[in-house]
Amino acid sequence: MKLNQYSDINEAFNITVTGKGSQPVVFAHGYGCDQNMWRFIYPYLEEKYKIILFDYIGAGNSDISLYSKEKYNSLQAYADDIISICEHLKLNDIIFVGHSVSAMIGMLASIKAPSLFSKMILIGPSPCYINKEHYIGGFEHASIDELLEALDSNYLGWSQNMAPVIMGNADRPQLGKELSNSFCNTDPEIAKNFAKVTFLSDNRADLKKVTVPSLILQCSQDIIAPMEVGEYVANTIEKGTLKVLKATGHCPNLSAPEETANAIIEFLETST
C-alpha cells in the first residue's frame, strides 16, 4: 500500500507538529526508539522553528498494522516515508535532524528529493557498520552476525544487555534503562528486521551524492559509530562539517541534550 493511499498519514506516523516558527525542523528517531527521544532537544528550537516529530511505521505509536517486512527491507523505504510525510505536510526548506540510522535515512531522502531539504544534522551517523578494506566501520562482519543471532534468539535479553552499552554513561544507569525499555516496547519481529536492514546496509557510495550542507555530530566516545566513521562521513559529504561533542555514548540527545542542541543551533545560525 502506498503512503498516499493511507486514510490518515498523521495517524499512521503519529505525527506531532509544534513550535512557533515557519521553517520546519523534522526530527527522525533511531533504531528501537520513537519521537519521545527528542523531548530534551526540540524545546531549544521551538521558539524559532516549526517542529515535526513522527514515529516510523512499526515504532512508538505508529499504526503497526501498516508494517510489511517485504516493504521495509531497505533504508530507502524509510526514506520514502519521510518524503511522503514532508509532502503531505507541504513542507519546504526543511532542516532534517536524524539520529543514528535515521542519519542515513535522511541522507537518502535528501538525495531523492534534494529540493525539499536545506540542511541536514546527522547525529552518530554510520554509512557502514562493518569494517571493509581501507574503511573502519567499527565491527567485523562476524561480530555483526553474532549480534543479529543474539537478537534473533533472545530479543528481550539482547535489549536489556545491549541498551546500556549503546547508551554509555554508566554513571547514569537510568539512561540505559530508558533505552532498554524503548527497545523492549518495540515489536520483536519488526525490531529484528530493522536491525538487519540497519547493520547490513552499506551507504558509503551515497555520501558523495548529498548536496545539502550537513553537520555531523560525533560523540567523543561511541561504540556504535566510532570517531573514524564520523570523520569519514564529514570528509566524504561535499558540504559536510564535523563537530565532535564532549558527550559520550551513542545517544547525546538523551545524555547531553544541551550540548547537542547548542551545536545544532550554532550550525543553523552560521552555515549558509
> Is 192 in a helix, a strand, or coil?
helix
C-alpha cell at 197: 536492514
User: In this predicted structure, which of 78-87, 126-135, 165-174, 205-214 has the lowest mean pLDDT?
Assistant: 165-174
What are φ and ψ of residue 130, in 5° steps? Answer: -100, 135
The tens digit of pLDDT for each residue in 79-138 reads: 999 999 999 999 999 999 999 999 999 999 999 999 999 999 999 999 999 999 999 999
With 70 as the cut, is the pLDDT of residue 251 above it?
yes
Beta bridge partners of 244: 218
Class of domain 3-270: alpha beta
Residue 195's closest CA among 123, 131, 100, 106? 100
Domain spans in the chain, listed from the N-terminal domain onward: 3-270
Which of 62, 84, 100, 255 is labelled catalytic? 100
Structural contact between residues 133 and 215, judged by C-beta atoms closer than 8 angstroms: no
C-alpha 221/C-alpha 76 separation (Å) is: 28
Q: At what angle do helices 155-167 and 188-200 cross, to 10 degrees?
A: 50
Tally of CB atoms within 10 A around 150: 14
Annotated active-site residue 250? The verdict is yes
With 60 as the cut, is the pLDDT of residue 217 above it?
yes
Which of 34, 80, 81, 222 is labelled catalytic? 222
Annotated active-site residue 55? The verdict is no
